[in-house]
């Protein structure tokens, strides 16, 4: 008759031959998770973060990316970046790509150390793809953001040495909420979400108040159409270029503009960028106007 009785609790919890309890599902966002590319690099002897350089960091000429901007609009997020890369007082390159897709639903704009930022962006692209192929599912948005925090924290040693510091702006399409989202990070890996806009780089401080002025006088970026939001973003970049010598404008080399929506990443053609630039000029905003182009303040406007 014993064979027809239900199994006793003590037989399931410690008696020999009892089945093991079902394991709890793994946390996909924990360090060391299955599909963790950072751990794979460390175990292979090629960690992402090399030893800190020795000697005087001032002797190392570190090329920097300058101003990047992200603003929302009705259907997603617009990312604008000038093309200038500088090293001290030198313009090293005027066609730098500072807005890079790292997955189908994420763009990152970079400012600061260009070489280090591009290395980490390549790592993130490979890490997200490695996870997707090894786990047969894409990494969640929270998992992607957590991975960026990890690599920023891995980079603290390089930043503290005087080279290798960079600040990213992350634009992501949230598939669950079906909306664009914007995040920025500090040098220690702290993550902050902003409701309307973000900017980083040497020109960002000059235009911080202009963002608020636009929101208070014209309305929220997230309620604008694509054309209006793009024109405002280009005007902001031109103001930054006028007030910051390290930021390139749109007169000589067009900025890079990428848009993130539910359909993925779109790179705007030059014709659309030029049309938006010409539109803000026709509306009275003339990029590159200097004091020499204005009436002489010492002259009496009435001719007296």
Catalytic pick from 66, 67, 86, 247? 66
Contact (CB, 8 A) for 262 and 219: no
Identify whether 228 is a catalytic site residue. Answer: no
Q: Which residue has the tokens 């603290």?
A: 156
Residues with a catalytic annotation lie at 66
């Amino acid at each position: 008759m014993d064979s027809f009785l239900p199994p006793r609790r003590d037989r399931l919890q410690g008696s020999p031959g009892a089945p093991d309890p079902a394991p709890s599902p793994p946390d996909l966002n924990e360090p060391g998770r299955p599909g963790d590319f950072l751990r794979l690099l460390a175990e292979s002897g090629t960690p992402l973060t090399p030893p800190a350089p020795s000697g005087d960091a001032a002797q190392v000429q570190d090329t920097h990316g300058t101003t990047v901007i992200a603003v929302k609009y009705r259907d997603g997020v617009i990312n604008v970046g000038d093309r200038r890369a500088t090293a001290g007082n030198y313009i090293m390159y005027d066609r730098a790509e500072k807005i890079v897709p790292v997955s189908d639903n994420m763009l990152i704009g970079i400012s600061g150390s260009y070489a280090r930022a591009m290395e980490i962006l390549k790592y993130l692209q490979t890490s997200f793809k490695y996870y997707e192929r090894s786990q047969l599912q894409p990494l969640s948005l929270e998992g992607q953001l957590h991975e960026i925090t990890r690599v920023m924290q891995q980079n603290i040693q390089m930043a503290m040495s005087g080279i290798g510091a960079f600040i990213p702006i992350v634009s992501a399409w949230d598939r669950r909420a079906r909306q664009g989202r914007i995040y920025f990070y500090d040098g220690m890996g702290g993550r902050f979400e902003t409701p309307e806009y973000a900017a980083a780089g040497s020109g960002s401080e000059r235009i911080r108040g202009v963002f608020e002025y636009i929101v208070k006088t014209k309305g929220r970026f997230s309620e604008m159409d694509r054309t209006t939001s793009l024109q405002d973003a280009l005007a902001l970049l031109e103001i930054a270029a006028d007030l910051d010598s390290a930021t390139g404008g749109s007169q000589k080399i067009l900025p890079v503009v990428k848009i993130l929506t539910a359909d993925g990443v779109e790179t705007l053609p030059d014709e659309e960028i030029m049309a938006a630039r010409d539109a803000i000029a026709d509306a009275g905003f003339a990029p590159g106007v200097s004091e020499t182009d204005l009436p002489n303040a010492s002259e009496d406007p009435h001719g007296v």
